[in-house]
Structure 1
């Protein structure tokens, strides 16, 4: 190949890269709308065993006949200045579902990513807690898998949280905020998708809006019994001491 051809090819590649960079979408302030999907059939089926099948199997069969397989719930993440506020949609309706505390959206989560702290309002049955603590430290393993979510190019990362919950996340570096739904943070960009395959639950962004966000829209929640994560764990363990096998799933749901 002639030198002039090599130079021309190099210039074309450089110009193409510059045009792509100019047209790329980068967001630092706005909102992300998420849809939480729960596979109710799979979740409820796992709760049936030889000790309870006489009454849970008929209840499960009736549920399958009368209810949709997938429960859908929505939420919004507002972000600006490396702060985020994740809030469930009040229009989701009643949050009491047969099966598991994993189903409803119990948490309002304010995260200060610079300070590494969070304030989480957690609804646990009839009681509300206000949990102030450090952000959960998640050891992500970034992979080469990619997909598009809500118009953004995303990369996959995997992790284990709470010693046993396998997490698949998809993040985009086109949103320069290391936040995400619920308590999932710590990747080099906004997390637009989270799946907990073994828990039959996922959160995926359906829309991202690039708009200025005033500081009052990121104010953390203030109502609830004040605790840190250690205090919440102790409270839950005491309350569920005699719950047997069901305690594990419920504890996992409310500590997530």
Structure 2
């Protein structure tokens, strides 16, 4: 009887730990639909010129899709999402400048509303420090299993007009997720951004006590707000000469998210 009670107690403790973890590591895969992304880029470029012809040539050699791997460490209200470094080979090495992924590291402190990120933009670090990104969510009654967790769908709008779809689980009670995404009553294990032609899904969840580092970039990197980043890149990208307004906004959305 005593042994049975002990086993029951141990089982309950395990169940409680499994359903309400406060710390752990989540591995994610970001699938970018490369050719669709490039077609979108091409549709926003100028009607003639070297840039358009060059994009068409690269698109013919590009894969339909490509997977980028990332991991997120979370502990309490803090989380850090970073790329798992892999060497790019073949055509992907030549076309990364399109902005499929910026190998960005993100830090979020949900309790204190802190957001930091550092992105690799054409070989230079771009350090952003601002408040958490505002997302308007509407929770639906659609469910999906992701990485073994029952997840509920939410539709969202970010940056005024960018539509996103997310799947979150309340079994991990931290209002965070991959990249800049947050704001739901549980951990986001899946997210899709149709405008940017990518989706991100968790593949593995491990319960450990990771160290969540808040430091970003190098000492020489100057942090910018999102508004300052927009001004900085607008001048650097020669919008109107080299790039259209649409191309600029498309790239900026990728950096923000």
- TM bin (shorter chain): 0.7 to 0.9
Give CA deviations for 1:189-233 in whole Å, capped at 9, x if unaligned.
10000101232111110111111223xx43331422221222112
Tell me if structure 2 keeps the 8 A contact 1:44–1:99. no
Tell me if structure 2 keeps the 8 A contact 1:110–1:118. yes
The structure number with the bigger radius of gyration is: 1
Q: Distance in 2 between matches of 1:96 and 1:159?
A: 33
**1:33 has 2:34 as partner:** no
How many residue pairs get aligned? The number is 235
Tell me if structure 2 keeps the 8 A contact 1:128–1:225. no
TM value normalised by structure 1: 0.81
In structure 2, runs of 5+ residues without a counterpart are: 1-11
In structure 1, runs of 5+ residues without a counterpart are: 1-17
Query: Offset at 1:252?
Result: 2.4
Judge which range, 135-144 or 103-112, deviates more.
Answer: 103-112
Query: Offset at 1:80?
Result: 0.3
Q: Could you say what the CA RMSD is over the residues aligned between the two structures, in angstroms?
A: 2.8
Query: Offset at 1:96?
Result: 5.5
**1:80 aligned residue (72, 75, 82):** 75
Judge which range, 53-62 or 231-240, deviates more.
Answer: 53-62
Give the match's secondary structure for 2:174.
Answer: coil
Tell me if structure 2 keeps the 8 A contact 1:88–1:105. no
Judge which range, 72-81 or 37-46, deviates more.
Answer: 37-46
Give the match's secondary structure for 2:171.
Answer: coil
Give the match's secondary structure for 1:254.
Answer: helix
Aligned to 1:135: 132
Please list, as runs of the form range in 1=range in 2, the aligned pairs for 1:1-256 lying within 5 A after superposition.
Answer: 25-49=19-43, 51-52=47-48, 56=52, 60=56, 63-64=59-60, 66-91=61-86, 93=88, 97=95, 100-101=98-99, 103-214=100-211, 217-223=212-218, 224-240=221-237, 241-242=239-240, 243-244=243-244, 245-256=246-257
